[in-house]
Structure 1
Amino acid sequence: MSDSTIAASEVQAIAQKLLDAPPTKQIQLLQQLAEGGETGIQALIDFLQARQNQPPTIAMGKAYQLLIQQDYPQAQDFVRNTLPEGVVPLQSDRNMDYRQLQEQLAQADFLKADRQTAQKLCELGGEMAAKRKWLYFTEAARLPVTDLRTINTLWQVYSEGKFGYSVQRELWLSAGKDWEKFWQKINWKTGNKWTRYPNEFTWDLSAPKGHLPLSNQLRGVRVLKEILTHPAWQNDTSDQ
């Protein structure tokens, strides 16, 4: 439990600013609230309570991450009783359990979350994919829309919007679908040298945008292409 570093009046002012702030500014303001002692923690709780029935956002993910780091009883009680599984609804068309992935991402354990993501995609790909532990591009094309969206939302919400397949898709499209430019942009390749797994990858938010989650690019681009052009993103018109 950290000492309060801002006054209660400042907490109220910060909470008011949150209402109209853009997402990146909200992240900064939420971090300030976490330094406001019990009053700040209650403001984080109020922020999440007011948004319980809304689609998850990166600000909601950040507020949840800040709360699970706190020793304050009201923070622990709120998380345990109101958000026991996090802020992202864990929807699945295959009865897949994403609780562990949500927990890993909420705790910013991106290496474990990346491995868990790969495992879940293989399980979604079918018995043979789960056994061999990697996907054929035809299996990637048949991944359930609901599940791929859930996995993507988890990555986005708990990475301050930095990671996720939709983020990678946006970067790929902005690179003109040029894979070499894309690899360089997300730091999967430097010059002619592939980034080596796992030690040369960056497993925290200092990584370039779109750096995570990984795919086995050494098997070629077809699996990742199927993911980035998947029907899960059919409402995205950025490639039109």
Structure 2
Amino acid sequence: MLSGSSPSTTLSAEQLLDRFATGSPRQRRNLIRSIESRVDELAALGPALFQPFDPNADDWAVGWILQVLRRHAPEGAPTSSWLETPSGVGIDYDPLQQHLLAEEYEEADRITSALLRQLAGEQAVRRGYVYFSEVAPMSGVDLTTLDRLWLVYSQGRFGFTVQWRLLQSFDGRYDQLWPRIGWKNEGVWTRYPGAFDWSLKAPEGHMPLINQLRGVRLMDALLNHPALVARRPT
């Protein structure tokens, strides 16, 4: 077992799992260190470890458990991708899920950019970027899958719906959103070393990175795609 356990060690592994699965976002975040410190006990639960969770949902609690298992107790992790990732156009999301699971966020971001070009069509693939006008016809199933993957494997910190929620807190002002999510400023599209934080320590909404060289219209079109609008809390 890892050192540095929290007061939650008074709970049994089953009780800790139940509290993590059913708790509020704030309660869950307070249990993150306990989950990591007691990973051996949780892994010993076997298949019961995943019974509280739905592979078709977007619950970041199970994503964190899977990431902790991969780092500290890989023998207790599922042998295949756990989250269901449907596609309306036949895309295989397993490579993206594996990189997110491994917390390889820079490569996951590159894959996401490539997938958005693929969803936009052959012309976007050839030119290497997406026009905002190509967003509306994109498969909503796939944009939902992308959003769910980023949410599940980031403690709920990254993804399109997170970026939309933060944008609303600034009354839709992108110029105020950029510094909040750790992007340099409007119009900057950079992956240079030191210019981007590819970790869970990054600000909320930091990823995935959206190309803003041609203004905010691409990001605005993505955040307002009907499939992502449907995911907003009511």
Say whether the fold is shared (TM-score over 0.5): yes
- The partner residue of 2:50 within 48, 51, 71 is 48
Among 218, 224, 240, the alignment partner of 2:219 is 224
Q: Which amino acid aligns with 2:221?
A: E
- Number of matched residues? 230
Mapped to 1, the partners of 2:176 and 2:166 lie a distance apart of 9
Mapped pair 1:177 → 2:172: yes
User: Which residue among 69, 72, 80 is the counterpart of 1:70?
Assistant: 72
CA RMSD of aligned residues (A): 2.7
Q: Which sections of structure 2, spanning at least 5 residues, go unmatched?
A: none
- Cα distance change, pair 4–56 in 1 and its aligned pair in 2 (3 A): same
Letter of the 1:17 counterpart: R
CA–CA distance in structure 2, aligned partners of residues 21 and 203 of structure 1: 28
Structure 1 gaps of 5+ residues are none
Give how far 1:47 is off.
3.3
Structure 1 range deviating more: 142-151 or 21-30: 21-30
TM-score with structure 1 length normalisation?
0.84
Distance (whole Å) between structure 2 residues aligned to residue 119 and residue 13 of structure 1: 41
Residues 187, 50 of structure 1: alpha-carbon distance in 2 compared, 3 angstrom cutoff: closer
Structure 1 residues 71 and 133: CA distance shift in structure 2, 3 A: same
1:11-26 matches, within 5 Å, as 11-18=13-20, 20-26=22-28
Q: Would you say 1:167 and 2:169 are equivalent positions?
A: no
* 1:145–1:231 CA contact under 8 A, matched in 2: yes
Range 6-15 or range 55-64, more displaced: 6-15
Residue of structure 2 in register with 1:39 after alignment: 41
Alignment of 1:83-162 (within 5 A): 84-86=80-82, 88-162=83-157
Q: Distance in 1 between matches of 2:122 and 2:189?
A: 30
For 1:215, the equivalent position in structure 2 comes to 210
| CA shift for structure 1 position 15 | 3.4
| 1:42 partner letter | A
CA contact (8 A) 2:131 2:218 kept: yes
Alpha-carbon distance between aligned partners in 1 of 2:15 and 2:146, rounded to the nearest angstrom:
35
Q: How far, CA to CA, are the matches of 2:61 and 2:208 in structure 1?
A: 20
In structure 2, relative to structure 1, the CA distance for the partners of 1:211 and 1:30 (3 Å cut) is closer
Q: SS in structure 1 opposite 2:84? A: coil
TM-score, normalized by length of structure 2? 0.86
Contact kept, 8 Å, 1:104 with 1:113, in 2: the verdict is yes
Name the residue aligned to 1:197: 191
Report the CA distance between 1:195 and its aligned residue. Answer: 7.0
Secondary structure (helix, strand or coil) at the match of 2:209 reads coil
Question: Cα distance 1:3–1:66, how it changes in 2: closer, same or farther (>3 A)?
Answer: closer
Percent of paired sites with the same residue: 29
Look up the SS of the partner of 2:44 in the other structure: helix
In the alignment, is the contact (CA less than 8 A) between 1:104 and 1:110 conserved in 2?
Answer: yes
